[in-house]
Amino acid sequence: MADNENLIQSLQTSWKKEKAGAETYRALASRETDEKQRSILLKLAEAEDLHAKKWEARLKDLGAAAPARIESSFEKMRRWLLVRSGTANAVQRLEEQEDRDTDRYEAEATLATSPDDKAAMNEIKKEEKVHAKVLQSMNSNEHPQARLDSIFKREKWHAGHSGGWIGQAVYGANDGLGAVFGIVTGMAGYSGGSHVVWVAGVAGTLASALSMGSGAYLSRKSEREVYEAELERERKEIEENPEEEKQELELFYQLKGFTATEASMMAQRLTENPDQFLKTLAHEELGLSSSSFPNPVKEAFSATAATAVGGIIPVIPFIFYSGTLAIVLSLVISTIAHFLVGVLKTIVTGRSWWRSGMEMTLVGLLTAAIAYAVGMFLSP
């Protein structure tokens, strides 16, 4: 009797969580503009409803009923905020919930005394695991960096999202110009434009360039290492449970919109080629592909060179002149350079070239004014 009571409570909890998950998926789908993603979210909602119906039927067999579906104000507010936080954030939170549900079903399987109950919980555990992978793929459609960030649990490195080596170059020039312009104007305010300004500027340029280049190299190298680690993990899972991985891929394709027959045929065909099966799992479930990762050396070089070019611009006048003339010339060419770099950023951002250029210029001038004022304040 005690075992049955524990099982009933466990199933009632699972029923409530499955119903809550279905409602959240539908609420998110109602605001989703992308037809493909909306379809996936609705299919996930249907899958959660099916899980709830299965537990409801089992509770009836045990002489119990599903609990009343009464949401608290906190739960309603939480869903409302989650849905309006944006698809990317909501999907990431749902992915984390699916992972927790997988762990919960694994723990609940130990409460089941019936082989049928154990099998049912293990089956749904497997489906929840697939749901999490589907959500991972939704958040990694644009670039595998999104999935890697989820693995790393860290903020994205600002220069690594798009544009490849061109993006590295643009953001390198942006960082070099902004950082060294601040150093130069600050030292100009402190020294009145003496030769010490160009020494500080060159040192700042070198430091910024090496920092940006090493950051680009290590970031891309880390991406590759994480990809290889994830690939190895998938390889081990295939070796240990080949049939389970095949079923996962079938479920994955079904949630993507294929029929059960089509999904089975596709998964079966892939299992006949182990290497392709592994790459497909990595690509479809994790959004990772070896062809998606740029060359770390190439990106490091472009970032270093661009940062050096951007950083040296404010220093040039101080190499040939000193005093007020050097300060004015540096301000003029740096302002023009800020505008041009802002325009170049539109290659990566896709924004209005005029707005981007003006924004970059204003930020640069504000930085220079603050640095110059601080330099004057600290001057002897």
DSSP symbols for 214-277: HHHHHHHHHHHHHHHHHHHHHHHHHHH-HHHHHHHHHHHHHHTT--HHHHHHHHHHHHTSHHHH
Dist CA 342 CA 329 (whole Å): 20
Which pLDDT belongs to residue 374?
Answer: 93
Which pLDDT belongs to residue 142?
Answer: 42
Which pLDDT belongs to residue 285?
Answer: 60
Sequence ranges of the domains in the chain: 2-139, 166-221+295-378, 234-292
Q: What residue has token string 């939170």?
A: 93
Which pLDDT belongs to residue 166?
Answer: 64
Numbers of helices and strands, H then E, in the chain: 15, 0
pTM of the model: 0.51
Which pLDDT belongs to residue 153?
Answer: 38
Q: Which helix (H) or strand (E) covers residue 169, if one does?
A: helix 164-191
Q: Tell me the C-alpha to C-alpha distance, in Å, between residue 94 and each of 71, 134, 252, 370.
A: 18, 11, 16, 44
Which pLDDT belongs to residue 145?
Answer: 43
Ordered mean pLDDT values, 10 residues apiece, the chain (380 residues): 73 87 89 81 87 88 81 81 78 79 80 80 79 68 43 36 59 87 92 88 93 86 77 79 77 75 86 81 63 73 90 92 91 93 72 85 91 89
The CATH number of domain 2-139, selected from 1.20.1260.10, 3.40.50.11400, 2.40.50.140, 1.10.1660.10: 1.20.1260.10
Note whether 38 and 12 are within 8 A (CB). Answer: no
